[in-house]
Chain A
Amino acid sequence: MIDKLFYLDGISIWFIAIISLIFALGLPYGIDYIKHYKEHRRAVRWHWIMYFVAFASMLALCVVKHALLFLVCWEFMALSSFFLIIFESWKKDVIKAGMNFFIQSHISVLFLTAGFIAMADLTGTYNFDAWMMYEGDSTLPFILCCIGFAIKAGFVPFHTWLPLAHPAAPAHISGVMSGVIIKIGIYGIIRSIFWFNTNLLTAGYIILGISAISGVYGVLLAIAQHNLKKLLAYHSIENIGIIGLGIGIGCLGLGLQSDALASIGFIGALMHTLGHALFKSNLFFAAGNVYHATHTLNIERLGGLLKKMPLTGLAFLLSSIAICGLPPMNGFISEFIIYTGLFGFMYIPKAAFTIFGAILIIALVMIGGLAIMCFAKAFSIVFLGTPREDLPEEPKEFGGLRTVPMIISVAIMAFIGLAPRIVTNLACEALDTLGIDPGHIAENTKQLGNAAIVFVAICLITFLVRALINRKKKVEVGETWGCGYTAPTPKIQYTATSFVKTLVKLFGVVFGFRKEKDAIKETYPQTPIRYSSENYDKIESALIEKPVKGYMKFTSLFAFLENGKIQSYILYGIIFIVAVCLIALILC
């Protein structure tokens, strides 16, 4: 019986390990975070129950191999994460974001159910093992399931729930959600490639195309964001795109029957899944600390926090380095493996492959460069310089319950960055259980680790040499050069908006801005004039907001029916009953 319902192969174990790790890191952090909400005792109790329900259901998702059971677990996960998001249910925004998540995750369930039923209709069974044996073509269920999983993972254009849900949830939930809940979508897509029988070459092309768009679009929107958590949420879309590039290469490799290409793609995807889970949860933890210390997430109001919260700042910096894919952290290892896959694909001597590969490489390079810009902005505006505004209370560093999980997470990231072979080897073993020979990928990453170690060593030596030269010299502290201006204020600092202004102008097509300003009436205005601009997501507005508005307009045509008079409602009832009876009479 157990054999029929559950399996435990390398992929399951890999995802179970990631889920357990992130939930374990989120737990102590969450305990401290929730302390701020002592007066809401029922909400807190409910919250922790749901935390463990989410954990259990996600573990179950990784091991069940019966489609209906999978759907049940999926529903458990969707509902529990909904309750986790609406923890601060007394706020209107939170409920709104929660409902958005609720509806979109059920659209995802709808697609999955349709896909599973379509496949069961073809094969006559709900067992995943039997699906893999199926010889015939199963493209339709593959597409349906992939859309379902893509909604959960947050691929463009199914990403619209992500930037709403993340800022609404408590920080540890945002971390867990971005770290692992969206990764279940990735898990599903990887599984789908094996469950269904379809043209893997075409599938690979489509996955690669969508992933590249997701990556570039996600990071561009992140750059324009000034809400720290929303910025991180858009970065999740970017990273899902990078993971998708790996999966796409893997899929193409399977289609071309090249184990080398398939394994490099999938291992890149697996490694980046782990990496993103680590650094993104850590960034959200840091954002949570910033939020509780300053009571704002608007980065334009912050500044100079590194001196007051050194551990949080350092964790944010190192995670930023990792998320930008820079050595010597773990993000570089996974992006490097994906680069290897893309170059491998480009070097296949066929014009279409070379050109498509080159475009994908440009996309990945641009994603990297834009991510550097984005995190240079986020880190430097929040943590560097001097405070831009007076805050309600003096920010200070948090205790061990919050900082220790962050330190552990950074330590794991650095370990993977400096000694990548050990963890990559585990990923290779995981892939091996699917029957794809991973070759020497793990051995090849060893030299990356060596290179990173050499770099760190050069840093240390340079640092020591500089200290030695500076030993007897005067080291003073003076004022920043103000071009001759001698009364600088914190307001003079470069802002996040101005930092990205040129780029936003350059990619103007992608961005939408809502601007509000007071009209200037007098020649010499006496009252202050207000001006504000806010960036919005054009895809979201076209795909969600406009249709919903149209629907509301259509339904408002019937609003006259609901006039609040009990007599009318009784009349509707009578009309309905009469109509039913009439139809029955006529049809019989």
Chain B
Amino acid sequence: MLSLVLIFIASLFFSGLISRTKSILSGRKGPGIFQPLKDVARLLRKGTVYPATCSFIYRMAPVVYFASVVAAILTVPFNGLSGILSFQYDFVFFAYILSLGKFFCIIAAMDTGSSFEGMGASREALYSMLAEPAFFLVLGSLGLLSCNNSFVDIFSHIDFSSTQALVLGIVAAIILTILNMIENSRLPLDDPKTHLELTMIHEVMILDYSGVDLALIHITGYLKFALYAALVANIFIPLARSFIGAVALFVAIQALSAIIIGVIESFYARYRMNHNPEFIFALTAVAFLVIFSTFCF
């Protein structure tokens, strides 16, 4: 329950912090940290326009997308306290419920009958398929490291007394952060600020959404950011001695993730589309190395 609250709070600031970092680094005045929230509030007050081609799938998709991320958040533990949904191998459920949300986004994009949205849908399906093995391998190796098989047990039993374990933890954290960027379609895969439909992934899938639905999709995106950062935080929380320390560490890692993503976005250009699969699958290769090294020590 605590993790749910913490992730919800963190999600309020996450996206704002990214854009704040970007505007500071590029020497602009930029929008304030609460701008994303103001955007959402504005969208919530607006009416909705649906494309004429679409069916009820299109209207259902934002709801399913949001619910899938919330259900995934419910499995995330905090400081030894299990999430509301906690069972053996709950990380499999975590990955699959997120996939369900993506599945609905993809078919909703296809429902509009627009060729641009089809492009985005196709890319989203491909990239998430390529990224998924990395997540399973990271969680699998953390499970090996801690000899446990559910989120709460894995994260509370990682023994950081050896340097190797710490290194592995850091590599796992890096992989999860890159996954965060892939899942949220950020640079270097996808540029959320691009102005050309042909080069978008996530943004182009939601071109036709408006009003409350668009707000829901934005909220889901912010939650997803905080969700993955919370997983990274969970790896290191055993290092904190007290409860206050754990909360502080959580907040620090959330902020750090947002800043790192902002920094990367400021200094990186987007990859060419045909380089993306290589980049994503390389992640799986690194995750495989983690498994090897977990085993070797």
Q: Could you tell me the dominant secondary structure of chain A's interface residues? A: helix
- Once A336-B89, A368-B132, A506-B277 are accepted as A-B contacts, the answer to whether A327 and B291 lie under 8 Å apart by CB is no
- Given the interface pairs A339-B92, A372-B102, the reply to whether A473 lies near B136 with Cβ below 8 Å is no
Cβ of B112 < 8 Å from any Cβ of A? yes
Q: B51–A477 contact, CB under 8 A?
A: yes
Nearest CB of chain B from residue A225's CB, rounded to whole Å: 16
A 400-415 binary contact with B (CB < 8 Å = 1; else 0)? 0000000000000000
The interface size bin for chain B is: 35 or more
Q: Which single residue of chain B is at the shortest CB-CB distance from A478? A: B49
Report the interface size for chain A: residues with CB under 8 A from the other chain: 77
A548 within 8 A of B: no
Docked-complex contact B113 and A490, CB < 8 angstroms:
yes
With both beta carbons as reference points, the residue of chain B lying nearest to A340 in the complex is identified as B89
- Tell me if A492 and B291 are in contact (CB < 8 A): no
Contacts of A481 in B (CB 8 A): 51, 112, 114, 116, 207-208
* Minimum Cβ distance to chain B for residue A424 (Å): 14
Q: Which of A436-458 contact B (CB under 8 A)?
A: 444, 447-448, 450-451, 454-455, 458
Q: Mark B81-103, 1 if CB is under 8 A from A, else 0.
A: 00011111110110111011011
A-chain residues with CB within 8 Å of residue B100 when the two chains form the complex: 321, 326-327
Chain B residues within an 8 Å CB radius of A355: 291-292, 295
A369 contacts B93, C-beta separation under 8 Å: no
CA A483 to CA B71, docked complex, whole Å = 35
| B5 lies within 8 A of chain A by Cβ | no
Q: Is the CB of A459 within 8 A of B110?
A: no
**Residues of chain B within 8 A of A499, CB atoms compared:** 110, 118, 121-122, 125
User: Contact between B125 and A368 (Cβ–Cβ < 8 Å)?
Assistant: no
Asked if B49 and A454 make an inter-chain contact with CB atoms under 8 angstroms apart, the answer reads no
Q: Give the secondary structure class of B's interface.
A: helix
Question: Do A469 and B114 touch across chains, with their CB atoms under 8 A apart?
Answer: no
List B contacts of A492 (CB < 8 A): 113-115
Q: Which residues of B contact A490 (CB under 8 A)?
A: 113
- Indicate with 1 or 0, residue by residue over A450-480, a CB within 8 angstroms of chain B CB atoms: 1100110011001100100110011111111
Cβ-defined partner of A376 (8 Å) among B68, B89, B107: B107
Contact B140–A474 (Cβ < 8 Å): no
Query: Do the beta carbons of B149 and A480 come within 8 Å of each other?
Result: no
Using A339-B92, A478-B50 as known contacts, say yes or no to A321 and B212 having CB atoms under 8 A apart: no
A420–chain B nearest beta-carbon distance, Å: 12
Cβ of B46: which chain A residues have Cβ within 8 Å of it?
473
Please report A residues at the B interface, Cβ cutoff 8 Å: 303-304, 306-307, 317, 321, 324-327, 332, 335-336, 339-340, 343, 346-347, 351, 354-355, 358, 361-362, 365-366, 368-370, 372-373, 375-376, 379-381, 383-386, 444, 447-448, 450-451, 454-455, 458-459, 462-463, 466, 469-470, 473-483, 488, 490, 492-494, 498-503, 506
CB<8 Å pairs between A and B, sample of 24: A324-B103, A325-B96, A327-B96, A332-B96, A343-B143, A351-B295, A362-B288, A366-B133, A380-B106, A384-B107, A451-B74, A455-B97, A459-B64, A462-B216, A469-B212, A470-B48, A470-B211, A473-B46, A477-B50, A479-B52, A480-B51, A480-B52, A488-B114, A502-B277
9 closest residue pairs by CB, A with B: A494-B118, A369-B129, A380-B110, A474-B47, A385-B113, A447-B87, A480-B51, A458-B67, A373-B125
